[in-house]
């Protein structure tokens, strides 16, 4: 069997960082629920170059309260095999809550790679990696004060498994992933570990261009105070479109 160094790296980060967070007893944890709905698109106009974009809407309290609106786009370049690099930007808008609205601008760069788990094409289990670096400008706009901008640089590492659970390839596949989010910046003192995101759901292919996944996303986040945490339970539905010019 061929070993995957990134698999062991992801397991080490997940267990080590999550364990250090759980070990802290003097903390306050706020629970909330959200629904995330997103549309992702990719288009390649030749063998290498393409564009990718996605739009999201995130609602709080399981759809009762409007939440975050997200728009993201990037230029992508496909390397040999199943590896792709991309660079782009994003805009996050949180409508006024308690008199304050939040506008976040991002630049990001990422590398995505996937392959059969055993390193051979005979394996039906796919393992995927994504390394993303983000530069984030979070602007808080209180109704009765001047805007405040906070800058952070955040690095995200995601490892995923896609597992066929039925013999019929037209039926859904199991999708699980874990993502660690680390950050640094002038105001990052107590929480270099920003979040841990764990997902479990299924992915369904509709046709050669369209697919979707539906599942549960658990987010454990440490705030800037270092002692306050937010645990978010998310019902997530993402729809995907992919197309390429035939040459």
* Per-residue pLDDT tens over the stretch 193-214: 999 999 999 999 999 999 999 9
Q: What are the phi and psi torsion angles at 219 (to 5°)?
A: -120, 125
pLDDT, tens digit, 9 for 90 and up, residues 23-52: 444 788 999 999 999 999 999 999 899 999
- Over residues 218-225, mean pLDDT: 90
Rounded to whole angstroms, the Cα distance separating 140 from 19 reads: 32
Rounded to whole angstroms, the Cα distance separating 118 from 4 reads: 9
- State yes or no: pLDDT of 134 exceeds 80: yes
What's the chain's average pLDDT? 86
3-state secondary structure 155-204: EEEEEEEEEECCCCCCCCEEEEEEEEEEEECCCCCCCCEEEEEEEEEEEE
- State yes or no: pLDDT of 99 exceeds 60: no
CATH number for domain 5-23+40-244, candidates 2.40.160, 1.20.1050, 1.10.10, 2.50.20: 2.40.160
For the chain, the domains span 5-23+40-244
pLDDT, tens digit, 9 for 90 and up, residues 47-73: 899 999 999 999 888 767 778 999 999
- Quote the pLDDT of residue 3: 45
Rounded to whole angstroms, the Cα distance separating 129 from 9 reads: 11
Beta bridge partners of 97: 100
Lowest mean per-residue pLDDT among 77-91, 120-134, 180-194, 204-218: 120-134
- Quote the pLDDT of residue 48: 92
- Over residues 118-124, mean pLDDT: 66
Nearest to 227 by CA among 2, 29, 12: 29
Give the Å distances, CA to CA, from 226 to 107, 209, 230. 26, 44, 11
The C-alpha angle with vertex 222 and arms to 219 and 223, in degrees rounded to 5, equals 120
């Amino acid at each position: 069997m061929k070993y995957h160094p990134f698999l062991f790296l992801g397991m080490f980060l997940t267990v080590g960082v999550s364990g250090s967070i759980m070990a802290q007893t003097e903390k306050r944890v706020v629970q909330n629920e959200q629904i995330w709905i997103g549309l992702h698109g990719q288009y390649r106009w030749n063998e290498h170059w393409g564009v990718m974009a996605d739009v999201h809407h995130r609602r709080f309290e399981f759809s009762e309260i409007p939440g975050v609106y997200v728009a993201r786009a990037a230029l992508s370049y496909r390397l040999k095999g199943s590896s792709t690099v991309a660079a782009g930007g994003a805009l996050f808008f949180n409508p006024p809550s308690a008199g304050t609205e939040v506008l976040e601008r991002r630049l990001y760069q990422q590398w995505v790679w996937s392959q059969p788990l055993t390193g051979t094409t005979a394996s039906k289990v796919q393992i995927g990696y994504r390394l993303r670096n983000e530069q984030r400008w979070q602007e808080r706009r209180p109704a009765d004060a001047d805007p405040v901008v906070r800058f952070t640089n955040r690095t995200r590492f995601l490892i995923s498994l896609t597992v066929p659970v039925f013999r019929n390839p037209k039926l859904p596949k199991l999708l699980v992933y874990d993502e660690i989010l680390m950050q640094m910046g002038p105001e990052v003192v107590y929480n270099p570990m920003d979040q841990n995101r764990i997902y479990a759901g299924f992915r369904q292919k509709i046709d050669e261009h369209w697919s979707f996944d539906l599942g549960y996303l658990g987010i454990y986040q440490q705030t800037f105070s270092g002692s306050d945490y937010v645990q978010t339970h998310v019902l997530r539905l993402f729809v995907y479109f992919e197309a390429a010019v035939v040459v």
